[in-house]
Amino acid sequence: MDDLDAALRQLLERQAIEEVLLRYASTIDRKDFATLRTLFCDDIRGRYGDVVVEGGDALLQWIDDMTIDKTWQHHLLSVYHIDLLSETEAEALTYHTSHQTARDTPDRCTRIIARYTDKLRKVDGSWKIADKVMEIGWTDEIVAPSAVDS
């Protein structure tokens, strides 16, 4: 029964980590910054392309600033793997596709194709993101069909 208990614990840990990674995207989409902040370690380091941001409050502010003009966002994430390194440390690879519209250009949608590499740490019984690296593959802009036809 010990092997079964260990396997069950591992599945539950992986599920909790996946929940954090997916919640990261959904809270950004809804601009639920209070919940988003709870997903970060206080000493988180984020790298988004060439931009590096350190600290939970600083990263939250940076995300808020980057999305302030966004009227709609949709992140689609696929968690490809989670490696449990210890009882309190894990790493994950997540593929990312997002779409965003902005207030000033409602007929255009920015699409970002990227992947995240995350390091997570268990803090007070909850998994939190300690390091997030976004490797951007490409971005493009989609014009709404009604704007093209006009």
Helix/strand/coil for 85: coil
pLDDT tens-digit profile of 3-28? 888 899 999 999 999 999 999 999 99
Phi, psi of 25 (to 5 degrees): -70, -45
SS3 content of the chain, % helix, strand, coil (to 5): 35, 55, 15
- Residue 123, pLDDT score: 97
What pTM was computed for the model?
0.92
How many domains does one find in the chain?
1
CATH assignment at residue 133: 3.10.450.50
* Nearest partner of 26 among 73, 92, 70, 95, judged by Cα: 73
For residues 32 and 63, is the Cβ–Cβ distance under 8 A?
Answer: no
pLDDT tens-digit profile of 95-149? 999 999 999 999 999 999 999 999 999 999 999 999 999 999 999 999 988 755 5
Containing domain of residue 82, as a range?
A: 2-149
| Dihedral over Cα of 136, 137, 140, 144: its sign | negative
